Structures are given as structure tokens and as C-alpha cells.
Amino acid sequence: MRSSKSRSRSKSNRNRPQSGGNVINRVFDSSGPEGKVRGTPQQIIEKYNQLARDAQLSNDRVATENFQQHAEHYLRLLSEAQREMDARREEQERQNRERQAERDRERAERQEREAANAPSGNDPSSAPQPDVLDLGGDSDDGNDSGLVETPESAPKKPARKPRARKPAVKADAKPKPESNDNPEAAE
């Protein structure tokens, strides 16, 4: 039985950018002529450009070209990812503008409906008033003011006096003997 490590090293599992992935911040392992270079695309580009400058200073044109090609590969990868991100951002901004325009249209339509349903002007006195019916002056005091009598406007009755309470009879108290003034009670 093979171990999982040997399977993970197959050519199909190389670090390749996947569509929709965050390539700009993703860490890559680049196998260059001087060994592995690890980092984000920007870091790898900088490392290969530095290696190309060093090779050029040592008059190694083949190594210089090789490092520049490696740097160019990651530069293309980075620029493609940047274009995809810009396209996605522009699409989102376009969708946001469309949503905002739709909300603005709905708000304007709602305000137009409210304005059509509301009475003209903000002055309540300009609104149509109900008709007042004169039902005849049936007032008790003879003054016909045309007002309807409400409980608040009715004449107030004098307040009742509270009744005096009788003292409570205690349960253990003996009843008082009745006076002899009453001849029937004497019998």
C-alpha cells in the first residue's frame, strides 16, 4: 500500500492557481534552478529578479535569462489574477449601482403615490371639512351655543359625603342588656 505522501507529490497536485482563488496572497513553492523559492507571487518575482541581477553581475547570461523567465511567469500569473479581481470588482460595482438605481426608482414612485393620495398642501385648514348639521337648540339652559354636551361639560354634582360606619362587634364581647324603656323587651 502506498503512503499518502507519495500520492500528494504527483504532477496533478502542483501549485497552480485555481479560478476564483486568491492568487495574490496565496503562497507558492517555485522550483527554480537554484532550488525552491517560496512565497506570494510578488515575493517570488522579487526573489527571481534579485537572482537574475546577481547572475548578470557574475556574467552568467544563461542563468540571468532563466531567472528572468521564472520571474516573468509569476508576473503573468499575478497580472492575470489582478485583471480577474478588477473585473469582479467592476461587476460588483455595476450590480450595486443597478440595485441603488432600482431603490431610488421605487422610493420616487412611493413618494409620487403618497403625494397623489395626500391632500394638496401641508395646511390642514385647506383640507375638505365635514358638513355641520344644526339639529335645533334643545339646550336646557336656553342658550343655544350649538355645542354637543359631553360628560366633561355637564354640570358637576356635589360630592357625596361618606357614610359613618358602625363600630364592629367583637366576637368575644357580651351583648349589652337592653334598656327597660321598651315595655315589650321587659316581657
State pLDDT tens for residues 135-182: 655 555 555 566 777 777 666 777 777 777 777 777 665 656 555 555
Q: What is the average pLDDT across 122-139? A: 65
Q: Is residue 51 part of a domain?
A: yes
Phi-psi label, residue 35: left if phi above 0, alpha if psi -120 to 50, beta otherwise? left
| Cβ neighbourhood burial of 5 (10 Å; 0-12, 13-18, 19+) | exposed
Q: Which of 51-65, 77-91, 105-119, 120-134 has the lowest mean pLDDT?
A: 120-134
128 confidence band (pLDDT: 50, 70, 90) = confident
Domain range for 78 = 22-114
Question: Is residue 95 within 8 Å of 102, Cβ to Cβ?
Answer: no
Which 3 state secondary structure label does DSSP give 67? helix
Which is nearest to 44 in space by CA: 82, 8, 11, 77? 77
The model's pLDDT over 87-121, given as tens digits with 9 standing for 90+, comes to 999 999 999 999 999 999 999 999 988 888 875 55
Which 3 state secondary structure label does DSSP give 28? strand
Q: What is the average pLDDT across 13-24? A: 59
The rounded Cα 68 to chain-centroid distance in angstroms is 51
Q: Is residue 68 part of a domain?
A: yes
34 confidence band (pLDDT: 50, 70, 90) = confident
Number of domains in the chain: 1
Q: Is residue 60 part of a domain?
A: yes
Share of the chain above pLDDT 90, in %: 36
Q: Is residue 86 part of a domain?
A: yes
Is the dihedral angle over the CA atoms 179, 181, 185, 187 positive or is it negative?
positive
- Asked whether the whole model's pTM tops 0.75, one would answer no
The per-residue b/e assignment along 134-160, b for 16 or more CB within 10 angstroms, e otherwise, is eeeeeeeeeeeeeeeeeeeeeeeeeee
Q: Is residue 103 part of a domain?
A: yes
Q: Is residue 100 part of a domain?
A: yes
Share of the chain above pLDDT 70, in %: 65
Q: Is residue 172 part of a domain?
A: no
Cite the DSSP H helix spans in the chain. 4-8, 41-57, 61-117, 183-186
Q: Is residue 38 part of a domain?
A: yes
